[in-house]
Amino acid sequence: MSDYITHDKNGVSVGRVQKKYFTFAEPPDEMVLESGAKLGPVTIAYETCGELNRDAGNAILVCHALSGDSHVAGYYATDDSKPGWWDIMAGPGKGIDTDKYFVVCSNIIGSCMGSVGPPTMNPGTGKPYGSDFPMVTIGDMVDAQKALMEHLGIRKILAVIGGSVGGMQVLQWCVRYPEMVVAAIPLATTTKHSALAIAFNEVARQAIMSDPDWSNGDYYDGTKPATGLAVARMIGNITYLSDESMRLKFGRRLQNKSDFSYNFDADFQVESYLRHQGAKFVERFDANSFLFITRAADYFDLEKQHGEGSLVKAFANARAKFLVVSFTSDWLYPTYQSKAMVKAMKKNDLDVSFCEIKAQWGHDAFLLPNERLDIMMKGFLNRVWRETA
């Protein structure tokens, strides 16, 4: 429940929110991961907005992307400069209306934003896990979320929503726990990474592991692999944008100069932007977590894991109503991948709506203000709410 309501340029905010923690899988009852390894205790950081109704039937789970966190909307304090990462979408009267729905967002395991991950203290050694952290999968992340939802008294989720790696979690929810999911909105996502997506992730990982300060993942008592992580983020940022967005934002414009420096300074605005984004990322994220999460995304393969190589079979047990959304300029997870999942869903006679939204900003378009997306999500959720009530 928010402590107060504020107004900002995006409209009404949910106001003040608080990060909470849930711990389960205490030894000797550790969580068994898909790899066969065991992990415990497992702590999940999460936040909630809105009020859970009497029958716990208005819960919406929002799943964040690779470097996201549980802070989906609102503010921690009145003087915060920025709200949660999807404050434009979650709040009173917005696409995900917190006057009507109870919104939950948890930090995925393997991350560094409050949930158990490589920077967490290993109870067996008294030191951070580092590279000894067990490999986790998208399925493991969803299993941990399920434990949290049950802890909150939620046995059926009105909708699971997420983009990119968050969208992978949405799809995993629908096929792994079909009885719990009423509706799903996977945005700008895929059922499996292409060779191109895996390649970009591998280059980013190599940038980190080639940094001498990475020290095989055991750098927590020393110098962080800042250069490697910054380069990895720069690579990622290129995949999140599009050719058109880069042309419009930067072109070949120079950065605070009238001519070339004739050295390796950041002459171009796009160079300065990438360096700035890399430096900012180092301040808030962990290199090992980046390695583990990108690996989990690469391993994700819905048709192999749930359909014996058939995407149609993968959705055979799904029951949710779907709203699938792609964006025209997203070349990381292009529209043909969304159309493939929609086709497989329809072959299982599922209730599916699909929309390709014209957007020039690339993969990151789902995170940016978009009136069409806002209206579409609000309408879809309202329909599911009416049909469920």
* Domain range list for the chain: 7-193+301-388, 199-294
- For residues 297 and 201, give the distance between their C-alpha atoms in angstroms, rounded to a whole number: 9
- For residues 359 and 88, give the distance between their C-alpha atoms in angstroms, rounded to a whole number: 17
CATH of 199-294, one of 1.10.150.130, 1.10.1740.110, 3.40.50.300, 1.10.40.50: 1.10.1740.110
Active site annotation includes 363: yes
- For residues 241 and 360, give the distance between their C-alpha atoms in angstroms, rounded to a whole number: 9
Determine the pLDDT at residue 79: 86
Q: For the segment 153-172, what is each residue's pLDDT rounded down to a tens digit?
A: 999 999 999 999 999 999 99
Whether 103 contacts 77, CB under 8 Å: no
Active site annotation includes 13: no
Determine the pLDDT at residue 56: 97
Determine the pLDDT at residue 11: 59
Catalytic residue among 289, 330, 338, 364: 330
Determine the pLDDT at residue 208: 98
- In degrees and rounded to multiples of 5, residue 347 shows phi and psi of -65, -15
Q: How long, in residues, is the chain?
A: 389
Q: For the segment 16-72, what is each residue's pLDDT rounded down to a tens digit?
A: 999 999 999 999 999 999 999 999 999 999 999 999 999 999 999 999 999 999 999
Whether 277 contacts 232, CB under 8 Å: no
Whether 242 contacts 329, CB under 8 Å: yes
- 7-193+301-388 under CATH 3.40.50.1820, yes or no: yes
pTM: 0.96
Average confidence (pLDDT) over 237-256: 96
- For residues 379 and 385, give the distance between their C-alpha atoms in angstroms, rounded to a whole number: 10
Catalytic residue among 164, 245, 329, 338: 164
- For residues 57 and 61, give the distance between their C-alpha atoms in angstroms, rounded to a whole number: 12
Q: For the segment 77-102, what is each residue's pLDDT rounded down to a tens digit?
A: 988 889 999 999 999 999 999 999 99
* C-alpha count within 13 angstroms, C-beta hemisphere, residue 92: 14
- In degrees and rounded to multiples of 5, residue 98 shows phi and psi of -75, -5
pLDDT at 255 over 70: yes
Alpha helices in the chain (DSSP H): 138-151, 165-176, 195-209, 226-240, 243-249, 269-284, 287-299, 302-306, 311-314, 335-347, 371-388
Q: For the segment 301-352, what is each residue's pLDDT rounded down to a tens digit?
A: 999 999 999 999 999 999 999 999 999 999 999 999 999 999 999 999 999 9
Determine the pLDDT at residue 331: 97
Instruction: Establish whether domains 7-193+301-388 and 199-294 are of one fold.
Output: no
Active site annotation includes 330: yes
Residue 244 CB coordination number (10 Å): 14
Catalytic residue among 64, 71, 193, 363: 363
- For residues 89 and 96, give the distance between their C-alpha atoms in angstroms, rounded to a whole number: 6
- For residues 220 and 112, give the distance between their C-alpha atoms in angstroms, rounded to a whole number: 13
Residue 215 CB coordination number (10 Å): 16
Q: Checking DSSP bridges between strand 11-12 and strand 7-8, what pairing results, if any?
A: antiparallel
